Structure 1
């Protein structure tokens, strides 16, 4: 899909990212709309971006904990 108004798209992405972090239920309600303008597409993509980064952050935390646990095991021996 081609974006006609890039500024509106970027605003949508930024607003969705903030809403996903602080008001996720409000974002969900907004995304139930049937709108298909550039701002709305940005909202959808911003939510996906937030979820992807949040998942990556959690994975990094788990890996760090696992590495720390592995290092701690070596110290016990």
Structure 2
């Protein structure tokens, strides 16, 4: 691999990281927006669905895990 090819690969990798971080940040905000519109009953139903699918955590929406991932990604950027 030439130096130019290595630089292009690195740039592509960094661009992908920025794209994925932006998408994760947008998903985070969309989830928060949805929660703001939900009734407590709807939030409970959502929590039950998440638990049944194995995608639950200490909270309904994996807020803390997602926020930690966003912060780690920002540190790497």
Under a length normalisation based on structure 1, what TM-score does the superposition of the two structures give? 0.48
Larger relative contact order (Cα-Cα within 8 Å, sequence gap ≥ 6): 2
Larger radius of gyration: 1
